[in-house]
């Protein structure tokens, strides 16, 4: 069933693109970021995170994105108390298509297909295929004097994952999501996304209640992401260099389940704002949340119209343990450099 679905999706996207003969100039961008994370309170979370993203619009309404993230601890992880092992590699590729308007309506229709491989260097390796389509009703939402919607989309999603190294296992995930973005007064923005999904597990993907030892081959979930954002240029040194203050904070995420078990659904890591966090996730979680605040100072130097460099310093304030044991709010210093090239 899943193979038929994926073949149908890819085939329809390719056939639709053939309808366009307008002049088009391929374009894209390359971004490279190096982030360093310090220790967060009693948790030893010091680590390094390089990331590279190549985005290329190779045809009208078509985009392909190649991304690679790698992170490793800047200390020897020994499994001791209050340590967070962050050794990870995650290359992925995403093919996206803009269908335009749905029929005679004002609904914007987009689709994407992503493949990601996850390796944590523990003898196991997972691969995920993530198919998504979204119907954006934002043009039907009245624009207020102070609040304006920039996205209000219903998005069905499907994920298939399997163990490519280690004990065999598979997971299927069906998701219905609401994706929204809002422009607020005084340069603030607000993102609110809600996801209802069900997962089916086989083999090594089965989740376990560590208290009772019970294994589950399926689970239902509800997840909310809610972030308040702000960005403001503080000072312009010259035509090429400026200082900005950026802020993001909120739920990242709140999630509940009908199973009291240890779990880490793929969609959570794929959709949350903070790619790497100091929170220690352990125990049997049934209703849990992570809250964070991330203020940032960023200096940007525009070398040319196509090439820019940035240096940033930020600090994350968040809860260190999820759920009923949520406590020990701590600061984690972060900083790094980035480069963006448009072509």
Q: Say if residues 85 and 122 touch (Cβ distance below 8 Å).
A: no
Q: Say if residues 263 and 283 touch (Cβ distance below 8 Å).
A: no
Spell out the SS3 assignment of the chain: CHHHHHHHHHHHHHHHHCCCCCCCCCEEEEEEEEEEECCECCEECCEEEEEEEEEEEEECCEEEEEEEEEEEECCCCCCCCCECCCCEEEEEEEEEEEEEECCCCCCEEEEEEEEEEEECCCCCEEEEEEEEEEEECHHHCCCCCCCEEEEEEEEEEEEEEEEEECCCEEEEEEEEEEEEEEECCCCEEEEEEEEEEEEEEEECCCEEECCCCEEECEEEEEEEEEEEEEEEEEEECCCCEEEEEEEEEEEEEEEEEEEEEECCCHHHHHHCCCCCCCCECCCCEEEEEEEEEEEEEEEEEECCCCEEEEEEEEEEEECCECHHHCCCCEEEEEEEEEEEEEC
**d(Cα 20, Cα 16) in Å, to the nearest integer?**
8
The mean pLDDT of the chain is 90
Burial class (CB in 10 A: 0-12, 13-18, 19+), 232: exposed
Bridge partner residues of 228 (DSSP): 190, 249
Residues whose CB is less than 8 angstroms from the CB of residue 333 and which lie 6 or more positions away in sequence, other chains included: 37, 38, 313, 314, 315
Give the pLDDT confidence score for residue 6 in this predicted structure: 53
Q: Which of 131, 137, 135 is nearest to 116 (CA)?
A: 131
Q: Which of 313, 278, 312, 281 is nearest to 292 (CA)?
A: 278
Domain of 30 in residue numbering reads as 2-342
Give the pLDDT confidence score for residue 21 in this predicted structure: 46
Q: Say if residues 332 and 315 touch (Cβ distance below 8 Å).
A: yes
Give the pLDDT confidence score for residue 261 in this predicted structure: 83
**d(Cα 136, Cα 178) in Å, to the nearest integer?**
10
For position 306, which CATH number holds?
2.40.160
Say how many domains are in the chain: 1
- What pLDDT digit, counting tens, does each position of 154-198 carry? 999 999 999 999 999 999 999 999 999 999 999 999 999 999 999
> Is it the case that residue 124 has pLDDT exceeding 50?
yes
pLDDT band at 15 (very low <50, low <70, confident <90, very high): low
Q: 324-342: string of b/e by CB count within 10 Å (b at 16+)?
A: eeeeeebebebbbebebbe
Q: Say if residues 269 and 290 touch (Cβ distance below 8 Å).
A: no
55-59, 86-90, 249-253, 327-331: range with lowest mean pLDDT: 327-331
Tokens 């590729």 belong to residue: 93
Give the pLDDT confidence score for residue 286 in this predicted structure: 82
> 270 phi and psi, to 5 degrees?
-75, -30
**Cis ω on the peptide bond leading into residue 253 (within 30° of 0)?**
yes
Name the percent of the chain lying above pLDDT 90: 72
**Cβ of 303: how many Cβ atoms within 10 Å?**
11
Give the pLDDT confidence score for residue 279 in this predicted structure: 65
pTM for this prediction: 0.89
Name the percent of the chain lying above pLDDT 70: 89
Please give the structure tokens belonging to residue 67.
């991304």
- What pLDDT digit, counting tens, does each position of 190-211 carry? 999 999 999 999 999 999 987 8
Please give the structure tokens belonging to residue 203.
């083999």
């Amino acid at each position: 069933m899943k193979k038929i679905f994926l073949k149908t999706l890819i085939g329809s996207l390719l056939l639709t693109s053939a309808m366009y003969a307008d002049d088009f100039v391929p374009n894209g961008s390359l971004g490279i970021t190096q982030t360093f994370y310090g220790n967060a309170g009693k948790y030893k979370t010091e680590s390094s995170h390089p990331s590279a993203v190549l985005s290329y619009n190779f045809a009208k309404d078509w985009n392909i994105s190649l991304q690679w993230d790698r992170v490793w601890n800047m200390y020897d992880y020994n499994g001791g108390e209050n340590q967070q092992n962050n050794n990870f590699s995650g290359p992925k590729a995403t093919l996206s298509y803009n269908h335009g308007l749905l029929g005679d309506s004002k609904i914007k229709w987009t689709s994407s297909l992503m493949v990601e491989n996850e390796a944590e260097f523990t003898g196991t390796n997972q691969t995920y295929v993530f198919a998504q389509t979204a119907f954006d009703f934002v043009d039907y939402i009245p624009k207020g004097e102070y609040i304006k919607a920039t996205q209000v989309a219903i998005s069905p999603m499907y994920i298939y994952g399997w163990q490519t190294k280690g004990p065999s296992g598979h997971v299927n995930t069906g998701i219905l999501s609401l994706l929204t973005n809002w422009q607020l007064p005084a340069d603030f923005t607000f993102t609110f996304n809600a996801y209802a999904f069900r997962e089916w597990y086989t083999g090594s993907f089965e989740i376990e209640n560590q208290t009772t030892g019970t294994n589950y081959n399926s689970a239902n979930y509800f997840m909310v992401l809610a972030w308040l954002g702000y960005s403001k240029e503080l000072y312009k040194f010259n035509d090429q260099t400026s200082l900005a203050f950026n802020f993001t904070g909120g739920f990242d995420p709140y999630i509940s389940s009908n199973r009291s078990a240890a779990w880490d659904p793929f969609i959570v890591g794929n959709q949350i704002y903070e790619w790497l966090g100091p929170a220690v996730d352990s125990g049997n979680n049934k209703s849990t949340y992570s809250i964070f605040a991330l203020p940032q100072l960023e200096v940007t130097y525009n070398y040319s119209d196509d090439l820019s460099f940035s240096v940033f310093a930020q600090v994350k304030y968040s809860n260190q343990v999820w759920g009923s044991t949520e406590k020990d709010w701590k600061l984690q210093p972060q900083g790094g450099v980035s480069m963006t090239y448009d072509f």
